[in-house]
Structure 1
Amino acid sequence: MRKRKVSNPLALAVLALLSERPMHPYEMSNTLRERAKEESIKLNYGSLYSVVESLRRHELIDVQETIRAGRRPERTVYAITDQGRVELVDWMSDLLSLPVKEFTQFEAALSLMPVIAPDDVRRLLETRLSRLDAEIAAMGGVLDEMARQGMPYLWAIESDYARALRRAERDFVRELIDKLKNGSLEGLEVWQRAHEGGDLPSEADWARASAHLRRVE
């Protein structure tokens, strides 16, 4: 995936909105919130202005006009440029077709999990599992309500994707808990001994494990 002049996901949302019609930033913010896009794209009004200015500076959008309604402050209306339309399609094509490595906090925690004793990890994962179940149920309720209201699935597809990810995570966590309970997790004995008596893996053990992971990747 090539490096872009502006790479913030909020910038992509701005380009998508302006491909529909010219807007001022306040309208952009309201539209994104009305469509619940802040659930998928980090949104705050201050960063929105910075993103808009960056897009303008790189000639992906341009000022169309400045308007004033009554005593309200002036508002600058922006429109997407031809260069911006090309960038929008190219950027979306990359995101939809190319899997990329995303560094999640849970993955980082799993990679460092042995610093906590196995029994404590199991209890923490059980707490996570109950929270995941609650989140999945809540997501399902929102999707069901949208369907009852006759909203097209396309409007909720990112929520369904998020639910699918949560379901996959829940299944992984549940299986990991089971392995911790029944003792079938490979390396569990070494992990337990390390916390009971300080019997840590040697540097050679770490080197072999790292080399194996690099071959798998």
Structure 2
Amino acid sequence: MPLDASRNSLVLPILGFLGERPAHAYDLATRLQERYAHLTATRSTVTTLLKSLHRAGLVDAREPGKVGNRPPRTEYVLTGPGIACFRAKVESGLRDTPVASVDFALAVACLGSLPADRAVALLTARAERLTGEQAALPAGSAAMAELGTLEHGYWHGLVAAELEWIAALVRRIRSAELDWAA
């Protein structure tokens, strides 16, 4: 885990889930595992992150409550600064993350939390940045055998696929094909 827990990729979906409703660590860990099976989200990691987010003032902890014969669990709720942090993380994830990154995918999962025009602006800015990065990628060298430069083709393919996906998503948002609830 990064020394700065707020940089952990799980923080964005945790804040997003807390924006939907208050929850305890066990509930959050379960929801993370269900929705993001590709991420490692143990209950202890979620608990550690929640405590860090609480110390930072991004979430409030409610007194532990007991439901039935279950052990008491502290429930967390998003604060005003937590909402601002969530929005900033979504925007940064859409705009600034590397191509094909988990952080971009997590930001895309939260895209509907933004107004449609803001989402389009951020995705368009990302596409412009990636187009510049793609132009700067080495094309390979005629002096080297293709086998020695396969990674160049791989990166060109990743960037091209993401650019194509972003363009299609922007078209769907602009045409109102997506039911935008933000």
After TM superposition, the score normalised by the length of structure 2 is 0.51
Give the secondary-structure state (helix, strand or coil) at the position aligned to 2:7.
Answer: coil
Q: Flag structure 2 segments of 5+ consecutive residues without an equivalent.
A: 102-108, 111-140, 149-182
Pairwise CA distance, 1:14 = 0.9
Cα 1:187/1:61, change in 2 over 3 Å: same
- 1:19-39, Cα deviation, whole Å (9 max, x unpaired): 00100011111222232x132
Spell out the pairing of 1:108-127 with structure 2 (5 A cutoff): none
What's the % identity of the aligned pairs? 27
- 1:87-134, Cα deviation, whole Å (9 max, x unpaired): 00011101101243789xxxxxxxxxxxxxxxxxxxxxxxxxxxxxxx
Give 2:37's aligned residue: 38
2:29 corresponds to 1:29: yes
Cα 1:34/1:100, change in 2 over 3 Å: closer
Greater than 3 Å deviation, 4+ residue runs: 99-103
Give the secondary-structure state (helix, strand or coil) at the position aligned to 1:59.
Answer: coil
Out of 187, 201, 209, the position equivalent to 2:144 is 187
Give 2:83's aligned residue: 85
Give 2:93's aligned residue: 95
Kept in 2, the 8 Å contact 1:5–1:58? The answer is no
Kept in 2, the 8 Å contact 1:68–1:74? The answer is yes
- 1:150-187, Cα deviation, whole Å (9 max, x unpaired): xxxx79xxxxxxxxxxxxxxxxxxxxxxxxxxxx9633
Give 1:165's aligned residue: none
Spell out the pairing of 1:19-168 with structure 2 (5 A cutoff): 19-35=19-35, 37-39=36-38, 41-100=39-98
Pairwise CA distance, 1:47 = 1.1
Kept in 1, the 8 Å contact 2:33–2:40? The answer is no
2:21 corresponds to 1:10: no
Using the alignment, how far apart are the partners of 2:55 and 2:37 within structure 1? Answer: 25
Give the counterpart letter for 1:82 in structure 2: G
Using the alignment, how far apart are the partners of 2:46 and 2:69 within structure 1? Answer: 23
Name the one with the larger helix percent. 1
After TM superposition, the score normalised by the length of structure 1 is 0.43
Larger Rg: 1
Query: Taking CA–CA contacts closer than 8 Å with sequence separation of 6 or more, which of the two structures ends up with the larger relative contact order?
Result: 2
Number of aligned pairs?
A: 108
Q: Flag structure 1 segments of 5+ consecutive residues without an equivalent.
A: 104-153, 156-183, 192-217
Give the secondary-structure state (helix, strand or coil) at the position aligned to 2:51.
Answer: helix
Kept in 1, the 8 Å contact 2:65–2:74? The answer is yes
Using the alignment, how far apart are the partners of 1:21 and 1:27 within structure 2? Answer: 11
